[in-house]
Amino acid sequence: MTNTRIRFGTDGWRGMIADDYTFANVRRAAQGFARYLLERGHKDEWVVVGYDKRFHSENFAAAVAEVLAGNGLRVYLTQEATPTPVISYSVVDRGAVGAVNITASHNPPTDNGFKVRDEHGGALPPEALREVEAFIPEDAHAVQRIPLQEAQDQGRVVIFDPKPAYIRHLQEDLIDLEPIRQAGIKVLVDPMWGNGAGWFPRLLHGGKTVVEEIHNVRNPIFPDMKRPEPIPPNVNVGLAETVRRGADVLIINDGDADRVGLGDEQGRFIDQLKVFGLLAYYFLELRGERGPIVKTISTTALINKMGEMYGVPVYETGVGFKYVAPKMLEVNALLGGEESGGYAFRGHVPERDGILAGLYLLDMMVRLNKKPSELVQLLFEKVGPTYYKRIDVPFQGDREAVEARVRAARPETIGGLRVVGVRTIDGYQFLLEDGGWLLIRFSGTEPLLRVYCETTDPSRLDAILADGLRLAGVEWPSSKQN
């Protein structure tokens, strides 16, 4: 039997459980990462291993720990399912040389994944990921491992609780939670059956603010949603519950809690690009902080406008934190973000943190005494309105043919707007005369063609996307996505 060829996409390797994502292949991937660390002289040093609430995740994580221990490394293994940002912070707190995180984040329930992190707790850059891939053995028999209990008895695997150090870091170094606790607001949290469950009630208890949760137990088939991704239609139940319960805000985390979604008091979803704009306003205006901002090309042009307004540089990267994290470290960025709802912050780790991002958004509400809809209005008054939409099209065809077709296209207009430039940092991005854009690229984690756009007039969204699909030679999905 031919072994699966393991490749790291936008954020790690992901596959279908029991098909290509098997214990044998997870062990092979762990062997590759162990070899990568050993080649850098890290023998007998510590690696953090954590996991999410998907099917068998804790057992896949144990298999990883066995392989790392079998290769002469030492392992801090989380005692329970743990948010990705907490795992990443544990790397820094424990002085580890990296981490492995068993999670497929927002993928469908059929999938699981394997993420690796560096000594900063951030994503490895593409060139390092290629090295890890090169070290993955073709034959599962080449894997070295020690049974978990034996590794524990030898002190090579230590089970630990990562919560106290992360919570202490939040409260002492990043944000004062007391004003939020005493604000008397009602917060609804949807952790999407994932690792974020219990975190906001734990952090905000003891005051006048009320925090309620839905979807807060382990259920790896993710009822009420197609997948634990904090965008419509997956958030629709949470949005309806916000209105029914009279909550002031809906905070949504994806399955591993490294991303955040936001719903307003009227049960309306606030897209991820606007949330990025709100976070930039929070730091630049309310907190008066300054520093570079790093953004992927698939996120909002509002950040570029705000960079000009506040005199801070803006750096643009390809899609994924494997590009954002290294750039944040390079320029000591104030803020980094991407279109999918992942945001990272200076003074923390160069990793998306959906818990901290949610707390910052709540702090913004409290400082300004405004509901989420009013925050969006304030943002628009500052930088002008913007509207965003994305379509994902399942794709199993000839990628090269689609890419060649788009590469050869020379449209003068898209959605009735003049094309003023083309960029190929990651996929094909057509810049439009109103300051908006259309981006066509293949997903790095799933067999999908993604078509995104941002514009200043919501009536243009479908026309821009339709032109994008025509450029790619792909039909509009039979059921339009939000």
189 strand-pairing partners: 213, 251
403 inside domain? yes
The structure tokens listed for 411 are 């449209």
Enclosing H/E stretch for 163:
helix 163-169
pLDDT one-digit tens code per residue, 289-329 = 999 999 999 999 999 999 999 999 999 999 989 999 999 99
Amino acid in the structure at residue 69: A
For residue 305, give the CATH number of its domain: 3.40.120.10
195 inside domain? yes
Same domain, 403 and 379: no
310 inside domain? yes
The structure tokens listed for 134 are 């090169």
36 inside domain? yes
- How far lies 293's CA from each of 82, 96, 309, 334, in Å? 28, 27, 13, 6
Same domain, 443 and 322: no
Range of the domain at 419: 387-472
How do beta strands 186-190 and 210-213 pair? Answer: parallel
Same domain, 455 and 345: no
Same domain, 350 and 438: no
Taking Cα atoms as reference points, which of 224, 40, 192, 230 lies closest to residue 124? Answer: 40
Taking Cα atoms as reference points, which of 144, 132, 114, 145 lies closest to residue 50? Answer: 114
- The distance of Cα 171 from the centroid of its chain, to the nearest Å, equals 23
Cβ pair 75, 69 in contact under 8 A: yes
The structure tokens listed for 150 are 């034996």
The residue among 357, 383, 409 that closes a domain is 383
Q: The dihedral of CA 238, 240, 242, 245: what is its sign?
A: negative
pLDDT one-digit tens code per residue, 360-387 = 999 999 999 999 999 999 999 999 999 9
Same domain, 189 and 332: yes
**pLDDT less than 50: residues of the chain:** 1, 480-482
∠ CA 331-84-56, nearest 5°, is 150
Phi-psi category of residue 45: left, alpha or beta, with phi > 0 → left and psi -120 to 50 → alpha: beta
Place of tokens 């960079």: 307
Domains contained in the chain, number: 3
414-431 CB burial, b ≥16 within 10 A, e <16: bbebebeeeeebbbbbbb
Amino acid in the structure at residue 77: L
Same domain, 369 and 299: yes
Same domain, 76 and 106: yes
2 inside domain? no
4 inside domain? no
Same domain, 421 and 377: no
Same domain, 338 and 304: yes
Cβ pair 33, 65 in contact under 8 A: no
The rounded distance, in Å, linking the Cα atoms of 97 and 119 is 4
The residue among 333, 348, 383 that closes a domain is 383
The residue among 162, 197, 215 that closes a domain is 162
Q: Find the farthest-apart pair of alpha carbons in the chain and give their distance in angstroms, rounded.
A: 68
Prediction pTM value: 0.93
Enclosing H/E stretch for 11:
none
| The pLDDT of residue 479 | 53
The structure tokens listed for 355 are 């818990």
Q: At what angle do helices 461-472 and 399-408 cross, to 10 degrees?
A: 110
406 inside domain? yes
For residue 415, give the CATH number of its domain: 3.30.310.50
The structure tokens listed for 280 are 């930039």
Same domain, 78 and 152: yes
Same domain, 221 and 351: yes
DSSP string, 392-452: EEE--S-HHHHHHHHHH---SEETTEEEEEEE-SSSEEEEETTS-EEEEEE-SSSSEEEEE
60 inside domain? yes
Same domain, 124 and 207: no
- The distance of Cα 382 from the centroid of its chain, to the nearest Å, equals 27
Amino acid in the structure at residue 196: G
